[in-house]
Structure 1
């Protein structure tokens, strides 16, 4: 079989296969570079709809887009679970598992989830689950259609894997996340906007400037400037901080930046 025939055969074998993550062209970079967000999802359920919209809203959230790791092509049947995927999870600051009805039928989704939950325990990794048209209780107790999707493949898996997956599903079901059917009466566009805002908020500290913890003599100046900034105006305003060297002008400017940075999207921060 020549190279072209092998490629077509592999593409055919992956149609409808399980999902979770090879690098998107927009997320590629040097190996070892960090990602902002790792998307974990069942491709056949949400790849072309909800997760696609979520991905594009994340990468367009400001003039400096989030670096998002998602799958473009499913893992070929028979291929080993790649270390590249596990590395991507480890190097990401936030994971968003989109847990849908057939999620638990994919061993790749479940293996990623196990690694995501391990990273949450061992590092500052943030996990923001979305329960897409499934109830967290069904995920926790493997009930309903979600449970059926898991049990249908039970006999194919090792007992050790099954126990790890059950534990990860149980743990993620208790995390604060979103139920798509309950958020804003099921309006998915509003849910996606809220998820993007939450991601921006969680990553806000990346843009905080370092200032000394013990500050003296800046409170009055800071209060005056913040009161002026908070006063209503239809015009753009500029703040000038001047004075002799060593009185804390740069420190004051950093504090003002930190207090105001959460009022702006990521793309407005310099």
Structure 2
């Protein structure tokens, strides 16, 4: 996570955090299981390293991303939104050569329509 935060901060890489089955606010505040995890790591890593991780998690949770907390089986819909968002950020249009992939044509056409 620290490497991702550094790439976003220093190299201006595009980052799209996806918080899957966890609210970004829990990551931002290191609450719940995140607090427990950091407490467990204190005996294994230097305090400086843990503090950097906490800072980076807070930073990334403030970057525009996607919270997928209660998906109710809607993962494909969320995935389509995420792919569309990334494609827009990268100014990418899907022009794949897909003639050899059986059954992919309708999916590619649908994806192109959503972008």
What interval of TM-score do these two structures reach, taking the shorter chain for normalisation? 0.7 to 0.9
Q: Give the one of 82, 85, 96 matched to 1:198.
A: 85
Cα distance in 1 for partners of 2:50, 2:67 equals: 25
Is the 2:20–2:69 contact (alpha carbons within 8 Å) kept by the matching residues of 1?
yes
Where do residues 59-74 of structure 1 align in structure 2 (5 Å cutoff)?
none
Residues 117-150 of structure 1, C-alpha deviations (whole Å, 9 max, x = no match): 1121222301100011111121111111232123
Q: Give the structure-1-normalised TM-score.
A: 0.33
Cα distance in 2 for partners of 1:186, 1:164 equals: 35
Look up the match of 1:133.
Answer: 21
Is the 1:134–1:146 contact (alpha carbons within 8 Å) kept by the matching residues of 2?
no
> Structure 1 residues 266 and 177 mapped into 2: Cα distance closer, same or farther (>3 Å)?
farther
Q: Give the structure-2-normalised TM-score.
A: 0.72
Look up the match of 2:54.
Answer: 166
The structure, 1 or 2, with the larger RCO (C-alpha pairs under 8 Å, 6+ apart) is 2
Q: Secondary structure at the match of 1:127?
A: coil
Cα distance in 2 for partners of 1:166, 1:201 equals: 30
Pair 1:179-2:67 in alignment: yes
Look up the match of 1:226.
Answer: none
* Gapped regions of structure 2 (runs ≥ 5): 98-115
Pair 1:114-2:15 in alignment: no
Residues 183-220 of structure 1, C-alpha deviations (whole Å, 9 max, x = no match): 6x661111111111122212226xxxxxxxxxxxxxxx
Look up the match of 1:9.
Answer: none
Residues 66-125 of structure 1, C-alpha deviations (whole Å, 9 max, x = no match): xxxxxxxxxxxxxxxxxxxxxxxxxxxxxxxxxxxxxxxxxxxxxxx2121112122230
Where do residues 2-81 of structure 1 align in structure 2 (5 Å cutoff)?
none
Structure 1 stretches of 4+ moved >3 Å: none
- RMSD of aligned alpha carbons: 2.0
Look up the match of 1:265.
Answer: 94
Cα distance in 1 for partners of 2:75, 2:96 equals: 23
Aligned length: 97
* Gapped regions of structure 1 (runs ≥ 5): 1-112, 206-263
Cα distance in 1 for partners of 2:85, 2:57 equals: 22
